[in-house]
Amino acid sequence: MSSKTFKALEPYLLVTPQTIVFLLFLVFPILMIAIVSFWQFNGYAMIPAFTLDNYLSIFTSKVSLQTYLNTFKYVILVWFFCLAIAFPVSYFLAFYIQNQTLQIILFLICTVPFWTSNIIRMISWIPLLGKEGLVNQLLLGLHVVNQPVEWFLYSDFAVVLGMVHLYNFFMIAPIFNSLMRIDRTLITAAQDMGASGWQVLKEVILPLAAPGIAIGSIFVVTLVMGEFVTVRLMGGGQSASIGKLIQTQIGSLQYPLAAANAVILLIVTLILVIGILRIVNIRKEL
């Protein structure tokens, strides 16, 4: 083989492994899910015969709508609180901490929630937020309340709290990234032009941080859309999300129905992601 043909082939050879992995572990499974979602099932087996029943039952059931609304509620709340916490944290890290070592250490501290397993994290909320938990004992001791507050645990509040705690970092990392890339001279220039601190934030920093916020939002939105572990454990099994619905169906061997739900979930999530990309031009970031 001459070196010229090799040169021509080289890029193709280089992308081959990636492409195979991509096809095998992403495209193929999704295709399979899409195919299975049109199959019939009978409780213990899937029957490869075409049917629209799975989709019909999803679109005609009020449970699906209710569950989607509930999932959206979690998405909006978690996204909002993640952003509300992540932006100031990243801002502080990027602009107030000058020492780079300290910056790295503090950034790593943001990953603390990931230092234990998911299950242990969830269980440890009980002694904190439970009826006989630390927070309630404190409130009772201070006579703020006369009865233990029940909605701290096994409620929507608990679900949102659990997810914000888990996913905040996915918002912090990209926002921090964007803020670090902002050319500091721009800020100095704005100040020289007489901009107030608030104006600098609004006119310079926020627009430049937008791609980071968008990337973080994509992380958070997609993670929360498919969430089922936190919803089950923090919601005490009483809260519904699409992920949990799918999980129950898989547990009962209703694979085609679960697949149909998964396809719809994928489409809905993609629409949300596309929506975010429409608002913010994320390419500036990459």
Shortest separation between residue 121's beta carbon and other proteins, angstroms:
11
How is residue 203 annotated by DSSP? I
Report the interhelical angle of 206-225 vs 255-279 (nearest 10°): 170
13/112 with CB nearer other proteins: 112
Per CB under 8 A, contacts with other proteins among 267-286 are none
Q: Which of 54, 70, 217, 269 binds other proteins (CB under 8 A)?
A: 70
Burial 246-255 (b: 16+ CB within 10 A, else e): bbebeeeebb
Q: Which of 55, 130, 195, 201 binds other proteins (CB under 8 A)?
A: 130
Counting contacts by CB under 8 A, is residue 180 touching other proteins? yes
The pairs formed by 251-254 with CB atoms below 8 angstroms and a separation of 24 or more are 253/41, 253/43, 253/44, 254/41, 254/43
Counting contacts by CB under 8 A, is residue 43 touching other proteins? yes
Q: Which of 73, 140, 177, 266 binds other proteins (CB under 8 A)?
A: 177
* Piece in contact with other proteins (CB under 8 A), picked from 9-17, 58-66, 186-194, 271-279: 58-66
**Nearby residues of 261 by Cβ (< 8 Å), 6 or more positions away:** 58, 64, 242, 245, 246, 249
* Residues β-bridged to residue 47: 40
171/204 with CB nearer other proteins: 171
93/276 with CB nearer other proteins: 93
Q: Which of 35, 106, 126, 273 binds other proteins (CB under 8 A)?
A: 126
Q: Which of 33, 36, 153, 160 binds other proteins (CB under 8 A)?
A: 153
**Among candidate residues 134, 131, 138, the one with its CA nearest the CA of residue 153:** 131
Compute CA distances 45 → 220, 246, 252, whole Å.
Answer: 35, 17, 11
181/191 with CB nearer other proteins: 181
Per CB under 8 A, contacts with other proteins among 89-118 are 100, 103-104, 107-108, 111, 114, 117-118
Compute the distance between CA of residue 189 and CA of residue 225 in angstroms, rounded to an integer. 41
How is residue 286 annotated by DSSP? -
Q: Which of 211, 249, 259, 263 binds other proteins (CB under 8 A)?
A: 249
Per CB under 8 A, contacts with other proteins among 188-207 are none
CB atoms within 10 A of CB 149: 17
Report yes or no: 103 and 97 within 8 Å, Cβ to Cβ: yes
Interface with other proteins (CB under 8 A): 41, 43-45, 57, 61-63, 66-67, 70, 100, 103-104, 107-108, 111, 114, 117-118, 123, 126-127, 130-133, 150, 153-154, 169-170, 173-174, 176-177, 180-181, 219, 229, 232-233, 236-238, 240, 244-245, 248-254
